[in-house]
Amino acid sequence: VFGARVTDRNSPIFVLDSGLGGLTVVRAILSQLPGERVVYFGDTARLPYGSKTKETVTAFVRQIINWGSRIRPKCVVIACNTASALALPGIKLEAGTMIMAGVIEPGARAAATAAGTDERATIGVIATEATVRSQAYQNAIRRRRRLVHLLVQPTPLLVPMIEEGRTGDDPVVELALRQYLQPMLARGINTLVLGCTHYPLLTPAIQRIVGPNVKVIDSARKCAHDIARRLDDADLLASCADDSAMQKIDAKRLSIYVTDDPDRFQRLAPRFLGFEVDAPTLVPPEVLYHAIDTRASELRPSA
């Protein structure tokens, strides 16, 4: 459905999320992969995904990838745990040979390793309600460590607080984190997966609360490692010209599209990326519905 694999090394990586959270993946991609260009799609009009059903989230993701396929990306990254959990398995079947990456498998793999082999090893996962309900992390971790102790906690207050611009020093955020993490700490977790791409923004506060002995796994960074490996395997890493401007982690390598309120996105994005961005381009959701219709009629055999 989404077209064949693009074999041009210099084509961009298409990254999508419900809002700002996927920018933590973009930041990791830009810093780990110096030659790459990224096109980012934040579905801000329809956020949050974390409280929606599999059918709805899958339909949204399919529309966005359909729209994005016009830029002929060499790789599509679902930089949202909720969408990776609910939509990626089905969407992969429609993706043909296109390289598709998500955040759950790399996060689960890293957690299974970090937890160690001690029989008391206990992995905690915090994520949106939909990700927890999908059992995606539970299954992905159990595939690697069948007997590890696992505690999974939905943390629905965190995304709205982060999208509102609150940080880890905010007393309301601190209180919510303590409430969510205390029961896991009481049961002795030694590894904690940040199972939502928004959460790395709170890493310092989370690490402070769980203490230095708990390994905190950032699924966004692990996802960027995975993309690097897969592009390299496919011989699709961008050739990084000897051009220092190319190597800088800045807005020149990134274009952003959102479905609502580009100004707000532009204002908040630097907190996720560490640099200022150009004004995002608005793509109203009805354009996405139209993208599907147009492609469907293109695919229909002519009478």
For ligand DGL, the binding residue among 12, 15, 16, 17 (CB under 6 A) is 17
d(CA 68, CA 234): 21
198 binds ligand DGL (CB under 6 A): yes
Binding mask 242-281 for ligand DGL (x = CB under 6 A): ----------------------------------------
User: Which residue sits closest to ligand DGL, CB atoms considered?
Assistant: 50
Instruction: Name the minimum Å distance from CB 131 to ligand DGL.
Output: 6
- From residue 169, alpha-carbon distances to 10, 108, 204, 270, 274 in Å are 40, 28, 9, 17, 18
Contacts (CB under 6 A) with ligand DGL, residues 113-172: 128, 131, 159
Nearest to ligand DGL of 11, 219 (CB atom)? 219
- From residue 8, alpha-carbon distances to 66, 73, 93, 188, 269 in Å are 19, 9, 23, 48, 29
Nearest to ligand DGL of 16, 238 (CB atom)? 16
Query: Is residue 75 among the annotated active site residues?
Result: no
Nearest to ligand DGL of 57, 236 (CB atom)? 57
Query: Is residue 223 among the annotated active site residues?
Result: no
Taking CA 144 as the corner, what is the angle to CA 139 and CA 146, rounded to the nearest 5 degrees? 75
- The residue type of 206 is I
Contacts (CB under 6 A) with ligand DGL, residues 21-80: 21, 47-50, 80
Nearest to ligand DGL of 35, 90 (CB atom)? 90
Contact footprint for ligand DGL (CB under 6 A): 17-19, 21, 47-50, 80-82, 128, 131, 159, 196-198
Please give the positions annotated as active site. Answer: 80, 196
